[in-house]
Structure 1
Amino acid sequence: MIQVSNKRRLGRSSGAAAARAPLFRLSLALLLLLALVLSGCSDQANSGPPVPEGKNEISGYVVKRDKNRFLLTSYSSGQGRGTEALWIRFKGDVPLGGRVAVELEGDIRTSYPGMGQAKSARLLDSSATAGSARPESSAVAEALARHAGLRVPVIKETRLDQASGQWAVILFDDDASPRRERTARVKGLDWGFSSRKDSTLFTGYVVRKVGGRYLLTAYNGAPSSGRAEALLIHTGKSLRPGQLVEAFVSGGIDESYPAQGKAEDVQAIETDRPSGAFLLPEQAVARALERRLDPPLSVPAVKDIRYEAGTKSWTILLMDAMAEDDGESTIEVADQ
């Protein structure tokens, strides 16, 4: 350390004092420079991320839903964790897989995921893209259904292959260590009914066997009718309740509710078993559908599927498509 004294000793000449003056000024300059550096380091260590001015607004994908709340997650490729996750209380309806902007109000609990209250939520552009009859939100919703066991799903990227008309949805579980990315390739067709050249395609869950026919339902976010789409089919294939399938219906369709038709082919859509889980998502859905509910669901539809690794259990959210208030039921299924 440089020590500086400004006391002049008795008996020294003024010439000697003058000779020491440049050294004094140099030492003082060095001390000032050191102080500035230390001050800058202190400011840098204590500074947090910049707080945005104006509206307290966040955006991301709706990856899970409950009765009065939804889980919003987002991903950015910058430094740090790169992800955000927030359970948001909201009385309105937001579609699973939808990309939304949320204006928050009140305090936010800083757990992970955090918890907050929405003042408003608006759906960002999710229209069908050229080369696909299916909007991004619907493709993301199917990817989430296939990977229902992810505790905190984060959508890293979505891409549309114009040649094949397929969506590629890249996602991972932010609650898992290490992160393992998954790519769900989703046909460019919507949940429920969609038109084909020589047939009609219905994508949904097998929820019940009715005599020699099977009842399929699909909840695609926020249907304009206020109900899930439903189709009762004849098919020569053996299906199981809980399966996620694509049914190709030829000929006419009886436009009753549920609609009725004959399926020329039915193809099962494979779903991923969550890490550490014993059941597949379709098996958990099947067990939920077996439960005796009071009142019973006339036309059950699957709204959400979640797997909790900590409790080794599944949570299945069902709705009654025939009920005016949706008749939602939350069912817990042990993973065994």
Structure 2
Amino acid sequence: MSNRVAVLVLLMVISLTGCAGQIQDEQAQPPSDDPKEKGFTGYVVDRKEDSILVVSPEYEDFGSNGGASRYYPAKWFSNAPDPQVGSYVEIWTDGGPENEPYPGRARAESIAEYTAATPDGAKISEADAIRGGLYLPDGERISVPVIEDVEFQADTGTWKVRMRDAMAVDQDQSHVELEVRDVEPVEPVQEHESE
């Protein structure tokens, strides 16, 4: 009987340890005195000075009300000096008024940047692949890019980046699939001062 009790106690300790880990992960959100609601999430698809354009890959369907059947939330956030194009972020605003013409505008209060995945065998990360796709000629033609899927093809050494234009009138025809080569980014050469 004592073996059963020992096993039961061990299982309870393991369960409690797992719960504590989940609580810590939830508290890893931006520090604040009061709890925050879910922020605006999406991919950074453009940058101008300290502002970033973030577009959510999750669309809303307003077709039953006569609106767009695929409305992708998108906002320019000022006060965002760090996140690079291609990053997946969650942004909380300062509560100030937001401008509504599409894409909207708001001021960022805090930003959580999620680490981009680098699959086994890949030389660049998912964020690097997205950035590379956005800078290709077909990617640059999209006015408000929606990142739908990013997939590493180990057998060909390429990334498939699927996106669409949130501003396209015909959403069924707005798909673009780009191929980005998986090559190491070139590091800038630093000049050494001669002694």
Tell me the TM-score normalised to structure 1 length: 0.40
**Structure 2 vs 1, CA of residues 190 and 83 (structure 1 numbering), >3 Å: closer, same or farther?**
farther
2:42 is the counterpart of 1:60: yes
1:98 pairs, out of 79, 82, 87, with 87
User: CA offset at residue 163 of structure 1?
Assistant: 2.2
Q: What does 1:1-336 correspond to in 2, within 5 Å?
A: 54-76=36-58, 79-80=61-62, 81-106=70-95, 107-146=97-136, 147-179=139-171, 180-193=174-187, 229-230=188-189, 256-257=190-191
SS at match of 1:109: coil
Q: Which amino acid aligns with 2:77?
A: I
List alignment gaps of at least 5 residues for structure 1: 1-52, 194-228, 231-255, 259-336
**Match of 2:182, as an amino acid?**
G
Match for 1:129: what amino acid?
P
Preserved CA contact (<8 Å) 1:135 1:190: no
2-structure distance, mates of 1:160, 1:118: 32
Compute the displacement of 1:75 (Å): 1.6
| Equivalent pair of 1:131/1:163 in contact (CA under 8 Å) | no
- Alpha-carbon distance in 1 for matches of 2:146, 2:128: 16
User: Is contact 2:71–2:166 with CA below 8 Å preserved after alignment?
Assistant: no
Moved over 4 A (4+): none
Larger proportion of strand = 1
Which residue is equivalent to 1:281? Answer: none
Measured in 1, the distance between the counterparts of 2:37 and 2:73 equals: 18
Structure with bigger helix share is 2
Amino acid at match of 1:116: A
CA 1:149–1:257 in structure 2 vs 1: closer, same or farther (change >3 Å)?
Answer: farther
CA distance in 2, matches of 1:257, 1:183: 39
**Aligned partners of 2:118 and 2:88: how far apart in 1?**
13
Cα distance in 1 for partners of 2:183, 2:133 equals 13
Which amino acid in the other structure matches residue 120 of structure 2? Answer: A
Q: Return the index of the structure with the highest Cα Rg.
A: 1
Cα contact 1:126–1:136 (8 A) shared by 2: yes
Residues 199-257 of structure 1 show CA distances to partners (whole Å, capped at 9, x for unaligned) of: xxxxxxxxxxxxxxxxxxxxxxxxxxxxxx25xxxxxxxxxxxxxxxxxxxxxxxxx53
AA paired with 1:87? W
Q: How many aligned residue pairs are there?
A: 146
- Tell me, yes or no, if the aligned pair for 1:56 and 1:104 is still in contact at 8 Å: no
Q: Any unmatched runs of 5+ in structure 2?
A: 1-34, 63-69
RMSD of Structure 2 on Structure 1 (CA): 2.2
1:138–1:190: 8 Å Cα contact kept in structure 2? no
Aligned-partner SS, 1:140: helix
Equivalent-residue separation in structure 2 for 1:190 and 1:110 (angstroms): 40
* 1:135, distance to aligned residue in structure 2 (A): 0.3
Change (3 A) 1:164 1:72: same
Q: Distance in 1 between matches of 2:146 and 2:185?
A: 21
- Given the superposition, is the C-alpha separation of residues 68 and 77 from structure 1 closer, same or farther in structure 2, using an over 3 Å criterion? closer
**Deviation (angstroms), 1:82:** 4.4
Is 2:42–2:89's contact at 8 Å kept on the other side of the alignment? Answer: yes
Identical aligned residues as a percent: 23
**Aligned partner letter, 1:187:** R
